[in-house]
Each structure stands twice: as structure tokens, then as C-alpha cells.
Amino acid sequence: MQKFSIVIPVYNEKNTILEILKRIEAVELPLAKEIIFVDDGSTDGTREILKSLPPDKYKIFYQPENRGKGAAVRRGFSQATGDVIIMQDADLEYDPEDYLKLIKPIMDGKADVVYGSRLTGSEAHRVLYFWHSAANKFLTTLANMFSDLNLSDMETGYKVFSRAAWEKISPRLISNRFGIEPEITVLVGKNKLRVYEVGITYAGRTYEEGKKIGWRDGLAALWHIIRFGVRK
């Protein structure tokens, strides 16, 4: 394995985009880094910041309009050429310092897919909303029932794939928004891929700080788990 692709879906993150890039660049890894941005129709100045970055150093794609995280992730992954691929949110909730332990099970030949769990291990994580946590646990349990996995954190923003694993599930992905999380999980389970979980740090944001996912997304996730769970 020689290359690690980092796919960053971006929507209105002008205050954090350069900082997350700085953190990604600072991480030392045994693989070369390929950094891919997909701007999902930002209107706050994020797009202008991305246009100022050297195009010969980063892959940058611009959605013509806001289509959702799923559409941005699918486009970014379709452009990735790495042996290992990760999705990285553009806010500062997830720490690139966790990359090495996330990719290790794949590099060791033990895993096809690795989930970074915010709920396991001894890593630091910010304490926030009870109902958000309760909803996540409920949705994770339901996704486990359909996928026959035993995950602790289905909605995590850190999901890592070997190229072979991603190519196995990607042709069936159709979700444009946050439904991408349960859709990926169900497909990973149905394809009998080897899944590992690794405890990660988590610095969650409040809604005042820019968190975007809400109760409507939770209801949508519930629908998507059932929808994709019963899909042949």
C-alpha cells in the first residue's frame, strides 16, 4: 500500500477549512496523502478559499448546487486513487491524529473497513446532547439488526475503506444526504466485509457552533436503514 486518499465533503465551513487542512498536512503517515475536497455548493466564502489553494497539490471539485453529504462523498471517492480511503468532515470534530490507528487494521491485512467509534475506548470526547446520543444508539442498533454487525457508532464521520472494499459497495450507493451513513453500513454487512472499530477522539460542536445534523436527519436515517435493509 502506497497512497492514502482523504475525501473532505465541504459545505459552508469557511471558519474551519484551512485549519482542518493544516491538521491533515501535519500528520505523519507511512503512506503518501492524496487530499480531495468536494465543495457542496457553499455560499459563505468556503468556495473562494478552496479556489485559492494550489490546484497542482490538491484535487478540488465543486458541486453545481447543494446536493448533500452523500453526493459529495460519492463524488470524492470516485476521484480517489489511494489504496486506503477515508471520509473526513471539514469541521474540527474529528482529529486527523487518529489516522494512523484507523488505517492500521487495513494495512495489517486484518480489516476491509474500519469505523472510528466515538463511544468506545478511552479517548477524549466532548459531552453534548443526550437525545442526540440516544438517537444514535437506537439507529446503530437498528442498522446492526439489518447488517448483522455489532457496531457501537454507525453514524461516525470516520469510515475507512480498502480500495477493494469500496469498489465492492460503491456501485450500489445512491444516497445524496446523511442517508449515506446507514446505506454504507448495511452494504458493508451484506457484503460480509471484515469490519474493525477503533476508539477515536471527538470534539463535537453545538448547533450554535455550526452543527448541521438535526432531528429530521434522524428520521431520514431511520427510513434509510429500513429501506436499504430490506433491499436485495
Identify the residue whose cell numbers are 497512497: 3
- DSSP assignment of 153-170 equals -TT-S-EEEEHHHHHHHG
Q: How would you list the strands of the sheet with 113-117, edge to edge?
A: 59-62, 32-39, 3-10, 84-87, 159-162, 113-117, 195-199
Residue type, 4: F
**Residue with grid cell 505523519, as numbered in its chain:** 28
Residue 207 DSSP code? T
**Geometric angle at alpha carbon 139, from 125 and 211, rounded to 5°:** 50
> What domain range includes position 69?
3-230
Predicted local distance difference test score (pLDDT) of residue 153: 93
Rounded to the nearest integer, the mean pLDDT of the chain is 90
Residue 178 CB contacts under 8 Å (≥ 6 apart), including other chains = 68, 69, 70, 213, 217, 220, 221
pLDDT-derived band at 211, boundaries 50, 70, 90: low
Number of domains, the chain = 1
Q: What is the CATH number of the domain that holds 24?
A: 3.90.550.10
Residue 158 CA to residue 133 CA, distance in Å, equals 17
Model pLDDT, residue 135: 81
> What pLDDT is recorded for position 208?
61
pLDDT of res. 213: 64
Asked whether residue 33 carries a pLDDT value surpassing 90, the answer given is yes
CB atoms < 10 A from the CB of 153, how many?
20
The whole-number pLDDT of residue 53 equals: 98
Give CA–CA dist 176/68, Å, rounded.
5
Reported as type and span, the H/E element at residue 181 is helix 180-190
Mean pLDDT throughout 51-71?
Answer: 95
Between the alpha carbon of residue 23 and those of residues 92, 96, 98, 207, 209, the distances in Å are: 9, 6, 11, 23, 19
CA distances for 93 relative to 89, 149, 157, 188, 202, angstroms = 8, 25, 9, 24, 6
For 160, residues 6+ apart whose C-beta sits below 8 A from its C-beta are 84, 85, 86, 102, 103, 106, 113, 114, 115, 116
- Give the rounded percent of residues in the chain with a pLDDT score beyond 70: 91
Cα separation, 62 vs 65, in Å, equals 8
pLDDT at 20 over 60: yes
Region 103-122 average pLDDT: 93
Q: Does 98 have pLDDT greater than 80?
A: yes
The pLDDT value given to residue 229: 77
pLDDT tens for residues 68-94? Answer: 999 999 999 999 999 999 999 999 999
Q: Decide: 21 and 35 in contact? Cβ < 8 Å.
A: yes
Interval 196-207 mean pLDDT:
83
Q: Is the pLDDT of residue 132 over 90?
A: no
